[in-house]
A and B are shown apart, each in its own frame.
Chain A
Amino acid sequence: MDQLISTDHLVKIYKLGDYEIQALRGINLSIEKGEFVAIMGPSGSGKSTLMHILGCLDRPTKGNYFLEGKDISSLDRNSLAGIRNQKIGFVFQSFNLLSRTTALENVELPLLYNSDYSKEKTEKAKKALSLVGLEGRENHYPNKLSGGQQQRVAIARALVNDPAIILADEPTGNLDSITSMEVMEIFQSLNNNGITIILITHEKDIAAYAKRNITFRDGKIVKDEIIPVPKKAKDELLSLPPVENEEEI
């Protein structure tokens, strides 16, 4: 498999007045295309910082970050924005949808900032929404959708530009267990179609759906293990009584 992400001794230091906080203390990480990685660790362990750097929202203090073989640790703000637009899809804990903007327009958002702005953006956005099972809800506003549905809109938004990676920061943090399962089912099926997913969570249950688990502590990787047989969200959902699977609001 092709190497998608590789980092070389990533260090991130935050300065708070006279204090220096080392959020990352030399991370060497390599992720290949098609992987499904869960990054775990207590809060303050540096996992969010890593995600910001991997997601090109932030730059490392030291070290290098190669995305698809290209060193992007020293690119400027605009180039990073372009990479975020083309290569990376974000899914956040709090969904981060634009309120008073329809599901379809939310999904179209990354396409607005495409350099080769396509005329078929509505088609693309509709396709992404149907991939997450939301066809027919294109014109719903976020406040008329359930949490699970909002997160699915966010996933569709992350998907719409055919990114190389989806970065999900605690995507199930605001969802109940069944809805979490549904979201994980979407991630698993996307991963089966070849999309690389990096998921940050502090729940072991959620990490169990991933193929590889990395554990962080104090800015360092303390454990990196391959899960030979991940849990299958689809099977678990099927084993549930059908009534509880209702998710209509």
Chain B
Amino acid sequence: MRYFQILKVAYKALGRNKMRSSLTMLGIIIGVAAVIAMLGIGQGAKKMVNAQIASLGDNLLNIFPGSFMSGGMRAGAGTRTSLTEEDAKAIKEKCPAVLRISPVVRTGAQVVAGNLNWGTSIEGYSTDFPLIRSWPLASGTFFTEQDVKGATKVCILGKTVVDNLFAGQDPIGEIIRIKKLPFRVIGVLSSKGQNAFGRDQDDMIVVPYTTAQKKIAGITYINSIIASAVDRAKIDLATKQVTDLLRQRHRILPGQDDDFTVRSQLDIATAAGSTSKIMTILLAAIASISLIVGGIGIMNIMLVSVTERTREIGIRMAVGARGKDILTQFLIESIVLSLIGGIVGIILGVLTSKVISVILHWPIFISVVAIALAFFFSGFVGVFFGFYPARKASLLDPIEALRYE
């Protein structure tokens, strides 16, 4: 029996009981739509988290000094002053997997502009800061190599600082005082909002790291180093190169612990990614339950259909249908039922997701993979729940079936 013929027979059989077929399909439709919408919401959330993490700088590497150790007492990470400007320069020269690098000098200070003041963090970087952190300026210009070399008193303000010190006025060209020293505002950073851990990233002032060292903090070491790898795939290589170089520069013998830590943004992204992945799986699992319930509906209706059509099965067997032919026929019927349900469910799921994203401003991402998965899963439900009724039909005794009233 050719498949086209079987499909025709299946279509006719389903068309005979339109109400029943559509109600059975409804179970699958709701199941598939729920899976699609839940996956869409889950993946949307994942994309949002990823985008936030990527906003910190895609290929970012953080190099912290190790913990300070004195006679067995160990302070926390970053308390040592083992990183220097020379380390940063050496990394830039000798690590080919590292593209850009900037020393970080961090301090805090009370900042005064006119009659307003604001306590904020002062961060010193090299000129590569906007590129490493993928953080463009909203207006003005960034400082130059000359500014770094000369430790000039220029600064770039974060959005929160502008709001607090200038209350809506354009700060560019204005003078602010950091620790009583006058700094000229040359630029304003674009707003990044809160980071993944809830800290306001816009509440800071960026200055050349030399200025931060000499004019503000009065130190010779640097707090940490940020660097960007050549590309995402090279992050691990860059980490290794930096580690090897710093161990060599700090004369750490094999077997001794590092006096620094290299951490990539990827580590954080992976952690955040796995959280949203668990959420997606959970949502999809709950939605799958409704798909299984839909499958049970199909099984139920197929069992009814086999009983109702016992005589038809007998006739078909009498004229030469083998068990396999009957099995195929009923299996195709349940697959058609569930696949049509699947297709309608996909359409409904996509529409529902769109409505959710518009009304609730929720980020929704519907992938082709999710749609394909839902489609094949509904087909699988058809096979799985259709098999038992179809097998029951195929095992009927032709004589009994012909006598059935």
Q: Chain A interface (Cβ within 8 Å of chain B)?
A: 52, 55, 57-58, 77-78, 81-82, 84-86, 90, 92, 96-98, 100-101, 109-110, 112-114, 117, 157, 161
What residue of chain B has the Cβ atom nearest to residue A99's Cβ? Answer: B312
Q: Which of B26-34, B140-148, B286-294, B319-327 contacts A (4 or more CB under 8 A)?
A: B319-327
Complex Cα distance A23/B398, Å? 18
What residue of chain B has the Cβ atom nearest to residue A79's Cβ? Answer: B322
> Would you give 27 A-B contacts (Cβ < 8 Å), ordered by A?
A52-B399, A57-B318, A57-B399, A57-B402, A58-B399, A77-B322, A78-B324, A81-B320, A81-B321, A81-B322, A81-B323, A82-B320, A84-B318, A85-B320, A85-B321, A96-B311, A98-B315, A100-B16, A101-B12, A112-B1, A112-B5, A113-B1, A113-B316, A113-B319, A113-B325, A114-B320, A157-B319
Contact with A along B295-322 (1 / 0, CB 8 A): 0000000000000000110111111111
The one of B311, B316, B324, B399 in contact with A109, judged by C-beta atoms closer than 8 angstroms, is B316
- State whether B402 touches A84 (Cβ < 8 A): no
Nearest Cβ on chain A to B329's Cβ, whole angstroms: 10
**B180: Cβ under 8 A from any A Cβ:** no
- State whether A90 touches B318 (Cβ < 8 A): yes
Chain B residues with CB below 8 A from A58, complex form: 399
**B199: Cβ under 8 A from any A Cβ:** no
Contact with A along B105-118 (1 / 0, CB 8 A): 00000000000000
Chain B residues with CB below 8 A from A84, complex form: 317-320
What residue of chain B has the Cβ atom nearest to residue A100's Cβ? Answer: B16
Chain A residues with CB below 8 A from B323, complex form: 77-78, 81
- Which 6 interchain pairs have the tightest Cβ spacing? A85-B320, A110-B319, A81-B322, A113-B320, A84-B320, A78-B322
Nearest Cβ on chain B to A113's Cβ, whole angstroms: 4
- State whether A110 touches B320 (Cβ < 8 A): yes
Contact with A along B4-40 (1 / 0, CB 8 A): 0100000010001000000000000000000000000
The one of B12, B316, B320 in contact with A100, judged by C-beta atoms closer than 8 angstroms, is B12
What residue of chain A has the Cβ atom nearest to residue B16's Cβ? Answer: A100
What residue of chain A has the Cβ atom nearest to residue B318's Cβ? Answer: A90
Chain B at the A interface: SS class? helix
**B2: Cβ under 8 A from any A Cβ:** yes
Chain A residues with CB below 8 A from B324, complex form: 78
Total A-B pairs in contact (CB under 8 Å)? 63
Chain A residues with CB below 8 A from B398, complex form: 57
- State whether B319 touches A85 (Cβ < 8 A): yes
Chain B residues with CB below 8 A from A81, complex form: 317, 320-323
- State whether A96 touches B5 (Cβ < 8 A): no
Complex Cα distance A52/B318, Å? 10
- State whether B322 touches A109 (Cβ < 8 A): no
**Given contacts A84-B320, A90-B319, A109-B319, is CB(A98)–CB(B2) below 8 Å?**
no
What residue of chain B has the Cβ atom nearest to residue A108's Cβ? Answer: B5
Complex Cα distance A96/B402, Å? 8
Nearest Cβ on chain A to B323's Cβ, whole angstroms: 6
The one of A90, A96, A100, A113 in contact with B322, judged by C-beta atoms closer than 8 angstroms, is A113
Chain A residues with CB below 8 A from B311, complex form: 96
Chain B residues with CB below 8 A from A110, complex form: 319-320
What residue of chain A has the Cβ atom nearest to residue B309's Cβ? Answer: A98
Nearest Cβ on chain B to A228's Cβ, whole angstroms: 34
Chain B residues with CB below 8 A from A86, complex form: 320
Complex Cα distance A86/B319, Å? 9
Nearest Cβ on chain B to A154's Cβ, whole angstroms: 10
Complex Cα distance A242/B398, Å? 41
- State whether B321 touches A113 (Cβ < 8 A): yes
Complex Cα distance A201/B13, Å? 34
- State whether A117 touches B315 (Cβ < 8 A): no
- State whether A96 touches B399 (Cβ < 8 A): no
Within 8 A of A (CB), among B318-362: 318-325
Chain B residues with CB below 8 A from A114, complex form: 320
What residue of chain A has the Cβ atom nearest to residue B13's Cβ? Answer: A100
Complex Cα distance A55/B399, Å? 11
Complex Cα distance A57/B315, Å? 11
Nearest Cβ on chain A to B167's Cβ, whole angstroms: 81
Complex Cα distance A117/B2, Å? 8
